[in-house]
Chains A and B, each alone.
Chain A
């Protein structure tokens, strides 16, 4: 091919590139006020634009909230309450996009000058959500729309297991310092000394959903492991090793932190943290028995109580809580979880027949869910029914459910419901 032919061949592509520009691959820095206008007008265009941003550009936008976002809010005093809500909602939606890319913790940084002195402001996902929640204080009395926002923001933080953000931080972190700077500059209200859930409870005192989320976050500091010491071949009797529970304390609040075994090897090291467990258990019990809480909240509290009892080696109490939860579960997912975890507890007690029945009950609530199916298949195989195990395994692989396994949802907190929660918030935006 001659160079002229080659040029002719690639000319249309070059022309298309020139016309369309490199937007998709390398978008221009976002114009936050314009995005807020679009979002306030309704529709998904503003969201789509953020989705097209490169990681660095999207992160950079975090630093614009306190300045450009604030300016957009103040642009029309008569529309201020609505603008406060729109800004908070859009901030949450953009952070949800960044979380899906794994960018919650990554900070944008910018040098600023204050009284001639230069300093660096950094802002990550927690920083943006903290800024956004402060807008509600300015907006006035809490309402249903604000409640929906808090529920969604808690779900987001549960998804990234950021307990440092959800609960009162033990010490000022970099994020708090940065926000303190911003607060001094009058750019954000200084609410950052509170954990996110404590802040939610100042807006909605005694709200059962936030109380439950607070205890869930506290329990998320304990990382549950599925395994224990291997049995020697000569002692195998077909039951699982879950009779030796293992619970570890994570030394930092994030789920990715190094785990230090508490039981049975390093109890002294983490005794203080481990001592929190009884309080967490009683908090779960209190919510489970709170008649003012909705049945969904009470059932989830019972399920999480049961799981924690199991993890601490008390399978009998676990079963008591899980049985109650199964009886009262208002949804298939909660029913599934209660029965699935009851199966796990039965296994720990060495009762394979009861475990099998519990897993089968779970699958009645949510057919073909993989966690109970593989548990059932393994139980069958460990008790001599290899053909039955194969049939279950093959059928499970063949019929992949369309929706996520409730057991996985349990591990993510309420994060899997985030798209629905965000949709609810959009409906609350006054147009």
Chain B
């Protein structure tokens, strides 16, 4: 698998040079310049629509129809970044978080690996990259008065899996940020520049039972920050598991199992963009004409800088 952004940057250097003249040419992709990877989940009700081939999909890039080069239900190993929101608002679930981490590790495939980020007075690595099957002990305090959700997601999305691997980011968080250096809008922009899929679980159990040691919750995210973060997940082809009845009774381990299954059952489409502008936002639309009633969740696009 090749990466879009650096590849395109290289291609731009060749195609455009550094001068204004080159920029004025409004260059377009050539079929051979790069490969775009799009994760697609196709469902009818709760059932995955299986055995689809490249001919079953229609994909447009900024409205231009594209030739899909390959489709696979990925068996590639996965890098999983699990972000547990350990701010005060989720404190009631700390014990569950610590207990379930081992269960999560046992769900990984043979060549998968996982790391875990938490929030203290900074974003912290509660668990560095560990391979599947590792016995882990995760202990972390819950810290009130600060909630670096945006920073943690930015750290998570900054990771690029090595060639031949995929990256899954799972955030168990209420998305209520305060004190982050990074804004929700910047997380949204990052989501348009990553091949990772971001899943969020609305994890607000326990209330703010840890009193603020000091009230550091400033700057706080503006109203609407949660919606923007949710939009970021959708942009990657991921989703938000909200506080449905389903999740209220579910543990972290169960939620993670569902997400992992969803991720593994996603089709991975690859194409080389053609007939579309190089720079800026590329809106990607995927359809499956043979199943017009199917629910299709896919990466919504990508930026070329």
Contact = CB atoms under 8 A, between A and B. Distances in A.
A382 B185 contact: no
A233 B213 contact: no
Interface string A202-235: 0000000000000000000001111111110111
Interface string B190-233: 10111000000000000000111111111111111101100100
20 contacts: A224-B218, A225-B220, A226-B180, A226-B220, A227-B225, A228-B222, A231-B188, A233-B192, A233-B283, A233-B300, A237-B280, A238-B303, A240-B189, A242-B183, A248-B222, A255-B217, A374-B182, A396-B155, A397-B125, A400-B125
Nearest to B62: A234
A299 interface: no
Q: Which of A103, A233, A256, A387 has the largest number of chain B CB atoms within 10 A?
A: A233
A382 B189 contact: yes
Contacts of B121: 404-405, 408
B301 interface: yes
A297 interface: no
A374 B151 contact: yes
A101 B214 CA distance: 9
A124 B194 CA distance: 50
Interface residues of B, number: 64
Interface residues of A, number: 63
Interface string A285-309: 0000000000000000000000000
B303 A236 contact: yes
Given A226-B222, A233-B301, A408 B146 contact: yes
B222 A227 contact: yes
B186 interface: yes
B159 interface: yes
Nearest to A387: B6
Interface string A39-59: 000000000000000000000
Contacts of A193: none
A227 B214 contact: no
Given A241-B185, A383-B305, A261 B160 contact: no
Nearest to B125: A397
Interface string A376-413: 01100111111101101110111010001101100110
Given A160-B214, A230-B185, A393-B159, A386 B221 contact: no
Nearest to B156: A393
A234 B283 contact: yes
Interface in B33-51: none
Contacts of A246: 222
Contacts of A375: 181-182
A370 B223 contact: no
Given A99-B214, A160-B215, A230-B185, 15 more contacts: A100-B213, A102-B145, A161-B218, A223-B219, A227-B228, A233-B235, A236-B189, A256-B215, A261-B223, A371-B181, A374-B154, A374-B155, A384-B304, A407-B181, A411-B216
Given A226-B219, A408-B179, A102 B144 contact: yes
B231 A394 contact: no
Q: Which of B6, B220, B300, B301 has the largest number of chain A CB atoms within 10 A?
A: B220
Nearest to B282: A233
B222 A412 contact: no
A159 interface: yes
Q: Which of B154, B192, B225, B300 has the largest number of chain A CB atoms within 10 A?
A: B154
A191 interface: no
A407 B189 CA distance: 23
B160 A387 contact: yes
Interface in B12-43: none
A254 interface: yes
Given A230-B188, A233-B192, A389-B158, A370 B151 contact: yes
Nearest to A220: B218
A11 interface: no
Contacts of A102: 144-145, 210-213
A240 B305 contact: no
B182 A378 contact: yes
B9 interface: yes
Given A102-B210, A387-B6, A227 B224 contact: yes
